[in-house]
Amino acid sequence: MSLKNLPGDCMYQFRHVIVLFFILAAGAGLLLAGDLRFASENIDVRILPPDTVEVTGEYFFASSDSSACAGRVIYPFPADSGAGDPFGIIVRQNDTRKDLPFGRVVRGITFAVEVHEKGTTGITVIYRQRFATGTGRYILTTTAGWGRPLVNSRYSLHVPVNTVLEYLSYECDTVFTSGTDLTYYFFKREFMPDRDLVFSWHDATGRGAAAKK
């Protein structure tokens, strides 16, 4: 995710143009972190056969200096070959459970975040995306643009039991079976991702191997 500060309406309008310019140039690369700090995230990815992935991401923001602040986050989506346009997008404030307005930008969306003095704000983003190639991706590497690692984060990939997970780009800490899903978990502290979360799958009636690093 990426961010731009909102110092005032006029300045914001000018800087928003600059943000969009850099998105066009860099493909939704992470921009300046400013006063907001991206502290941690909990990501749940679910494979919905035959070709759809559902992402539920919970993101926590704090102020860099414990004072109240506001910013605008740019949230990128994968634009790989075979990846469809995200749909069913929801952006929700965790404490109020209210849906937040968001705008469309190239390869992503943008929405406002406000943090109260010495507080933390949680935002949940939910979306679905089709991957015709059977290989999905969730973007992690833009975390580097914030200039500091994520303090404490959790990731899970839910795979139906009748689906074979062929590849997972991160080593799992644990695997748990619940109902009709097999869930792969990994946990990170002081995490600066060096690669995205990439995974491949196919129907269990076909050929494939167990998940590997």
The full set of domain ranges for the chain reads 2-203
Q: Is the domain defined by 2-203 classed in CATH 2.60.120.10?
A: no
Task: Provide the greatest CA pair distance for the chain.
Answer: 58
pTM score, whole prediction: 0.82
- For residues 91-115, average pLDDT: 95
Query: What are the DSSP E strand ranges found in 22-162?
Result: 36-48, 52-63, 69-76, 87-93, 103-105, 108-115, 120-130, 135-138, 150-160
Would you say residue 193 has pLDDT above 70? Answer: yes
Q: Residue 21: its pLDDT value, please?
A: 34
C-beta atoms surrounding 174 within 10 Å:
10
Question: Average pLDDT, whole number, for the chain?
Answer: 84
